[in-house]
Amino acid sequence: MSVKPFSRFLASRKGIILIGAVIGILAALLQKFGNPPNMGICVACFERDIAGALGLHREAVVQYIRPEIIGFILGSMAAAFMFKDFKARTGSAPFVRFVLGIFAMTGALVFLGCPWRTLLRLAGGDMNAVSGLAGLTLGIAVGDQFLKYGYNLGRSYPTHYSAGFIMPAAAAGLLLLLVFEARFSPEGPIFFSSKGPGSLHAPLMISLGAGLIIGFIAQRTRFCTMGSIRDVLLVGDIHLMSGIIALTASAFFVNMILGQVKFGFSGQPIAHSNHLWNALGMMLAGLAFVLAGGCPGRQLVLSGEGDGDAAVFVCGMTVGAAFSHNFSLAGKPDKIADGIMQVGGPSVWGMGAVLIGLCVCLMIGFTMREKY
Amino acid sequence: MIIDACGLSCPQPVILAMNAMKTGELPLQILVDNNTALENVKRLAESKGYKIDIEQTDEKFQLTLSR
């Protein structure tokens, strides 16, 4: 059977709407099956949990090897093979991408979510996500200006075929560590949270299956949340945007059916109502995503189809997650103490890290231009 | 005019194509080496009303835009 008609369908507007809807529905269901509230899928949070499980940070409540992340990479690899799209390539400013990954994660964890979770928080009624989305859009708009004026990290080049398998192999290794619950010393690692968001997870096979499906379709459709906003602002192209609207709408619809919607600002799960830093955190993340060429989900998918530069960005995000928790940069959720709500948000260190990150990203944007 | 967008990740091929379109020079040939760039440049050209011919050679695609 020819795969071309299926491939053409996935590359069409209907295809991008399909993947958006699939992510939205699966995310809401994963939450029902045990993933944290309003966090059916969050690439930033899940990479942070993996960093914790490996002991790169010791925040005891966010440590788990998330099978969804593994699924995204392996699902993407499977699709790339099936459709002859697997191409080992690298060489486009890898260290710059690593640094961008660190700051992208820093910003996302000040807000407490990647662009996918921003939409999923909205679909769960969390209005604090509005300031995050506004910041994300602003960061992407700034990044678009750099693109217009010639910002470019340079070309990537074909490399050894086997180099493209390193990231999928690492994902498979993580899966083995998870399945066999490996312990390298009596106290760990591998660490698995016994309380907090890290302890909340859907059954392994369901999470892995959802990740594989999303990774597979996302590879074919090039689904990217950052790209959707970037393309609307830069070239007026709404192709990708139709996907993220489908994601939000479908997640909201399923959340309504499952009773997972709670509108408002206060008391939202794993979120804070410090709007300024929600916005600035996601502004940093959005800018870093544009400069690196994709949102965290898209970068994972690219790393599965042989893109070594995207793999470096993913590694940067993982290290960024470790820094965020080791140096107390991540935002703290709102909490209620003695009946009074205390607004969370980043520490002064987190605020400083966001500002430094914005300066570094602006410097990268201003100085790294290429003429052809 | 020939634009070599091989090895560039999106949206760079689209930006290069847009800039080339502004010159008004035709036919416009754009060389890309991945499906994402191919589809994105194709979508842009379609939205601007160009006639598109696509030739695949080895791992590369050559889009020729004309009116």
DSSP letter for A333, please. Answer: P
What number of other Cβ atoms are within 10 A of residue A154's Cβ? 16
B8, B22, B34, best to mutate vs chain A, most A CBs in 10 Å: B8
B32–chain A Cβ distance below 8 A for any pair:
no
Evaluate whether residue A132 is within a structural domain.
yes
CB contact (8 A) between residue A147 and residue B11: yes
Evaluate whether residue A331 is within a structural domain.
yes
A13, A156, A238, A299, best to mutate vs chain B, most B CBs in 10 Å: A156
B7–chain A Cβ distance below 8 A for any pair:
yes
A228 pLDDT above the threshold of 90 = yes
Q: What is the pLDDT of residue A338?
A: 86
CB contact (8 A) between residue A155 and residue B8: yes
Residues of A in contact with B14 (CB under 8 A): 234-235
Q: Are A351 and A277 in contact, with CB atoms under 8 Å apart?
A: yes
Evaluate whether residue A372 is within a structural domain.
no
Residue in chain B nearest A157 by alpha carbon: B7
Out of B3, B14, B36, name the one closest to residue A222 (CB): B36
pLDDT tens, residue by residue, A283-337 = 999 999 999 999 999 999 999 999 999 999 999 999 999 999 999 999 999 998 8
CB contact (8 A) between residue B11 and residue A148: no
The answer to whether ipTM exceeds 0.95 is: no
Out of B3, B9, B44, name the one closest to residue A156 (CB): B9
Tell me the two tokens of residue A89.
Answer: 């390539």
Tell me the two tokens of residue A164.
Answer: 């493209």
A193 pLDDT above the threshold of 60 = yes
Q: What is the pLDDT of residue A12?
A: 87
Evaluate whether residue A187 is within a structural domain.
yes
Q: Are A175 and A207 in contact, with CB atoms under 8 Å apart?
A: no
Out of A85, A87, A230, name the one closest to residue B11 (CB): A230
Residues of A in contact with B7 (CB under 8 A): 89, 92, 155-157
Q: What is the pLDDT of residue A372?
A: 47
pLDDT tens, residue by residue, A246-275 = 999 999 999 999 999 999 999 999 999 999
Residues of B in contact with A89 (CB under 8 A): 7
d(CA A315, CA A321): 10
Closest CA to A210 of A82, A45, A49, A25: A25
B67 pLDDT above the threshold of 90 = no
Out of A89, A152, A235, name the one closest to residue B18 (CB): A235
CB contact (8 A) between residue B11 and residue A227: yes
B2–chain A Cβ distance below 8 A for any pair:
no
Residues of B in contact with A156 (CB under 8 A): 7, 9
How many domains are there within chain A?
1
β-strand partners of B60: B57
Residues of A in contact with B59 (CB under 8 A): 87, 158
Residue showing tokens 């690439």 = A43
Q: What is the pLDDT of residue A371?
A: 60
Could you tell me which residue, A185 or A276, shows the higher pLDDT? A276
Give the range among A136-145, A220-229, A344-353, B54-63 with minimum mean pLDDT: B54-63
A2 pLDDT above the threshold of 80 = no
Q: What is the pLDDT of residue A7?
A: 80
Mean pLDDT of A221-239: 93
pLDDT tens, residue by residue, A167-183 = 999 999 999 999 999 89
Evaluate whether residue A264 is within a structural domain.
yes
Q: Would you place residue A1 in the very low, low, confident or very high pLDDT band (cuts 50, 70, 90)?
A: very low
Residue showing tokens 């189809």 = A305
Query: Residue B23 class from Cβ within 10 Å (0-12 exposed, 13-18 middle, 19+ buried)?
Result: exposed
Report cis status (omega within 30 of 0) of the bond before A67: no
Evaluate whether residue A152 is within a structural domain.
yes
Q: Which domain holds residue A190?
A: 4-367
Domains delineated in chain B: 2-66 (3.30.110.40)
CB contact (8 A) between residue B35 and residue A235: no
Interface of A with B (CB under 8 A): 11, 85, 87, 89, 92, 147-148, 152, 155-158, 222, 227, 230-231, 234-235, 237, 239, 293-294, 309, 372
Q: Which residues contact A351 (CB under 8 A, 6 or more apart)?
A: A277
pLDDT tens, residue by residue, B4-63 = 999 998 889 999 999 999 998 889 999 999 888 998 999 999 989 999 999 998 789 999
pTM over cut 0.90: yes
Q: What is the pLDDT of residue A146?
A: 96
pLDDT tens, residue by residue, A6-28 = 888 888 899 999 999 999 999 99
Query: How distant is the Cα of B8 from the closest Cα of chain A, in angstroms?
Result: 5
pLDDT tens, residue by residue, A107-137 = 999 999 999 999 999 999 999 999 999 999 9
d(CA A175, CA A167): 12
A83, A85, A242, A372, best to mutate vs chain B, most B CBs in 10 Å: A372
